[in-house]
Amino acid sequence: MDSGVQSVMTIGPSTTLTLSVAKWALVVLYLTRQGLSTELVPVQFGWTTSFVLEEKVVCETAALVAGTLTNVAMQRTLELCVEVMSLSAMSSILIINICLSPIILYVNNAGVRLVGGSSSSEGRVEVFYRGSWGTVCDDSWSISDARVVCRQLGFSSAIQSKSSAFFGQGSGQIWLDNVACSGSETRLEDCSHSSWGTHNCNHREDAGVICADIRLVGGSSLNEGRVEVYQSGRWGTVCDDHWGKTDADVVCRQLGYPQAVSSSGSAAFGQGSGPILFDNVDCSGSESRLQNCPYDAHTADCSHSEDAGATCQTVRLVNGTSSQSGRVEIFYNGQWGTVCDDLWSMNDANVVCRQLGLGSASAYKTSGYYGTGTGPVWLSRLSCSGSETKLESCSHSTWGAETCSHEEDAGVNCAAAGCTRLPSPANGA
């Protein structure tokens, strides 16, 4: 058997393994002898190959559960089997039974996939367990759970968690319920959850995620950096030719921020490596993803000294009477949350307004003046000097550590840039 011909298998967006034809054959033959169908492999695992053994057996597909063949031990097992086959007079099938038995453990372990989305980075979450795919119930489903799914699939993070069969109802088993990830787990099945197959749900409650297939790298905080895009199994950069704020706005909205503060070029956040995927990006500003903007895939005239960057807005005003007023919300750890009014002052409000490009503040508001928010109360006990460029730079308590209620949500009124602020009472005008 010729074991020198190489094929490339991509498992998830980040793990690429190179297996010889002999190794592909061993996997296929083992799965076949275990009675595990390989007919669904292209749909389930996203790759197909064909080759001919000396026995003239044509194997159309081969598979291991997506995301599980990521450790050295499994790779070495396959390599040893190829060596044994080349040295032994035993039949191939006998050797497969002896030395590839660990594969069944991987076939029975859970993989994860996204189904029903408009791109490979979003969809209904489905897990593979005991030979079949099933869904996840949205009871207690959160952004922490979504982050684990996205990282397991090789994406940088999650943008949103989705519930109520947002990406359509699945069928078959509902494998997991009451999932409660801390967010640090490497696989969804490592999170706390009800026993496999035990639930009180129906498919109207199927959970979903939107993963980030774009990221910011090299910045001093999560909201800024070199723009990198995931495409065809690899991360690559964007050339700064024609790069502008409209393009950066699309990037920031794609990552869950309201808009960009600024765009940058000339590798302002350091030079990337790998491919330069986009050049001459020309977004109209209405696109939901940078990948939907017109761009040139021929990037030979670019180098990494021209890598594009973006700085995204982390603060927004919600439920105000105009775009210049509202409840202060801040984006942190992939989620919007509010600011507690403990120690909230005009200095703090001035920083918010300048950060938004709205000049100085005309008033600060307390006690949920612009309505009560939802989600975490991210910041409390802020103490800005007034000279800071962003609210996160002010002295404050630990993120999310305070016990404030949303009845204490802080707000501001801004005097738009170019306007003069009139004197106001201590707690608003």
User: What is d(CA 16, CA 29) in angstroms, rounded to the nearest whole number?
Assistant: 22
Short-list 418, 422, 426, CA closest to 354: 418
Q: What is the pLDDT of residue 88?
A: 46
CA distances 194 to 35, 136, 175, 180, Å, are: 29, 11, 9, 10
Measure CA 349 to chain center. 32
DSSP string of 225-270, one letter each residue: EEEEEEETTEEEEEB-TT--HHHHHHHHHHTT-S-EEEEE-TTTT-
**Structure tokens given for 404:** 């404030």
Helix (H, G, I), strand (E, B) or coil at 97: helix
Q: What is the pLDDT of residue 161?
A: 93
**Strand-strand pairing, 208-211 and 214-218:** unpaired
Residue pLDDT tens, the chain, 429 long: 333 333 333 333 333 333 344 444 445 444 444 444 433 333 333 333 332 232 222 222 233 333 333 333 444 444 455 454 454 444 444 444 444 443 433 333 347 889 999 888 899 999 988 778 899 999 999 999 999 998 888 787 888 899 999 999 999 999 999 999 988 898 898 999 999 999 999 999 999 999 888 999 999 888 999 999 988 778 899 999 999 999 999 999 988 888 898 999 999 999 999 899 999 999 999 998 999 999 998 888 999 999 999 999 999 999 999 999 999 999 987 788 999 999 999 999 999 999 988 999 999 999 999 999 998 999 999 999 989 988 999 999 999 887 899 999 999 999 864 433 333 333 443
Residues forming a β-bridge with 132? 129
Listed in sequence order, the residues at least 6 apart from 97 whose beta carbon sits closer than 8 Å to its beta carbon are 33
Contact 11, 17 (CB under 8 A): yes
Q: What is the pLDDT of residue 416?
A: 66
List own/partner pairs for 104-107 with CB under 8 A and 24 or more apart. Answer: 104/30, 104/34, 106/64, 106/65, 106/68, 106/69, 106/74, 107/31, 107/34, 107/36, 107/64, 107/65, 107/131
Q: What is the pLDDT of residue 118?
A: 85
Contact 150, 211 (CB under 8 A): yes
Q: What is the pLDDT of residue 56?
A: 25
What backbone phi and psi angles, to 5 degrees, belong to 224?
Answer: -145, 155
Q: What is the pLDDT of residue 230?
A: 86
Provide the residue type at 355 as one letter: Q
Burial grade of 250 (CB within 10 A; 0-12, 13-18, 19 or more): buried
